Amino acid sequence: MIGEIHIITGVTAVGKTNYALEYAESHNAEIISCDASLVYKGMDIGTAKPSKQELSRVPHHLIDILDVQESCDIVTYNQHAQKAVDTIIARGKSIVVTGGSGFYLKSFLSPVVDLVVVPMSVRSAVSKLYAESGLDGLLDHLNRINKEGLGKLDCRNPRRVQRALERCMASGKSLPQLHSEFEARPKPYASYSKRLILLSREPDDIRSRVELRAAQMLRQGLIDEVEGLMATGIQNNPSAASAIGYRETIKYINGQLSTDELLPLIIKNTMQLVKKQHTWFRSQIQKPDESIQLTN
């Protein structure tokens, strides 16, 4: 055993930041952020990014590592996360991973990407096929490769169908073959001890905190922040531009929402995210090592 990874997660607005800070201080740990938006510089107010004071209490990693125009996928995140883990362990510290981005979180627990490299020529060919023949054309081609069936692939999702076809064409293998190889891959950080803590609150408490946070963001200058990010290219990065709080504010700035519509829409979309996160936790984290219901 060469180290300890403590994973602290829960839905948006549950109170992960404060809990993780206190936990890290009491466990001689440094924090690795597991949030898809905190990686971006300048996305501060809308992400409820830890304050300078909070960041000074415990060393943090994977916050403000990319410009807002740069894309961040799971491969990029994993590369940065592995470097952070190695650095922290070299200092003789333990590790606290905290955040609510499910796919990034899962990358500490099990394999999330295969080793198939998709050449640009294949990606272009699949993109052209989709433009000319639509989803039906993609599925027809994919079914010809996969005589055994398409398994659990979401066949109504064009993006997932495109990615599946790309991987089959690039590897020369069927989806079942790729799935079997994927399942046989070793678990990440296999030599580390891991402890997963799931934080929760009563539903009414979560909603109150979401409403308070959204209102505070607007008072603190979310609109000005988004205007500045639009000037530096956030809309060239769909992942960043679609983050809750940012996508609604972009619509407001572009005249697609009124002042009275902005706050309620941010709250509504945040609560929809909370619901999705609850569903993800139930399916992916069925047995956390510890479940803690917060009340303060």
Query: Tell me: the pLDDT tens digits for 22-81?
Result: 999 999 999 999 999 999 999 999 999 999 999 999 999 999 999 999 989 888 999 999
Q: Are residues 63 and 21 in the same domain?
A: yes
Question: Domain of 32: which CATH number?
Answer: 3.40.50.300
Helix (H, G, I), strand (E, B), or coil: what is residue 238?
helix
Tell me the mean pLDDT in the region 200-210.
97
**23 & 104 share domain:** yes
Q: Give the pLDDT of residue 284.
A: 84
Is 117 or 83 the better-scoring residue by pLDDT?
83
Residue 85 lies in a domain: yes
Higher-confidence position of 261 and 152:
261
Residue 144 and residue 49 share a domain: no
Asked which of 151, 183, 215 is the last residue of a domain, the reply is: 183
User: Is residue 261 included in any domain, yes or no?
Assistant: yes
**Can you give the CATH number for the domain in which 132 is found?**
1.10.20
Q: Confirm whether 133 is domain-assigned.
A: yes
Domain boundary residue, one of 183, 217, 235: 183
Q: Are residues 104 and 129 in the same domain?
A: no
User: 153, 183, 213 — which closes off a domain?
Assistant: 183
Q: What is the mean pLDDT of the chain?
A: 94
pTM of the full structure: 0.85
Contact, 5 vs 193, CB < 8 A?
yes
Q: Which domain holds residue 24?
A: 4-111+193-200+285-293
- Would you call 282 exposed, middle or buried from its count of C-beta atoms within 10 A (0-12, 13-18, 19+)? exposed
pLDDT at 1 over 70: no
Same domain, yes or no: 131 and 176: yes
Please choose, from the candidates 78, 140, 67, the residue with its C-alpha nearest in 3D space to the C-alpha of residue 109. Answer: 78
Quick one: what percent of the chain has pLDDT higher than 90? 81
Residues 289 and 265 in one domain: no
The CATH code of the domain that includes 244 is 1.10.287.890
9 and 95 share one domain: yes
Contacts (Cβ under 8 Å, ≥6 apart) of 135:
155, 156, 158, 161
What is the separation, in whole angstroms, between the first and last Cα of the chain?
35
On whether both 48 and 89 belong to a single domain, the answer is yes
253, part of any domain? yes
Q: Which amino acid is at 74?
A: I
In a domain, 168, yes or no: yes
C-alpha–C-alpha distance, residues 9 and 51, integer Å = 19
The answer to whether position 188 is within a domain reads: no
Mean pLDDT for 7-32 is 97
The answer on 143 and 126 residing in a single domain is yes
Q: Evaluate whether 5 touches 108 at the Cβ level (below 8 Å).
A: yes
Looking at the structure, do residues 131 and 89 belong to the same domain, yes or no? Answer: no
Confidence of residue 2 (pLDDT cuts 50, 70, 90): low
**72/47 same-domain check:** yes
The Cα 263–Cα 272 span in angstroms is 14
Q: Quote the number of domains for the chain.
A: 3
164 and 235 in a single domain? The answer is no
In-domain check, residue 39: yes
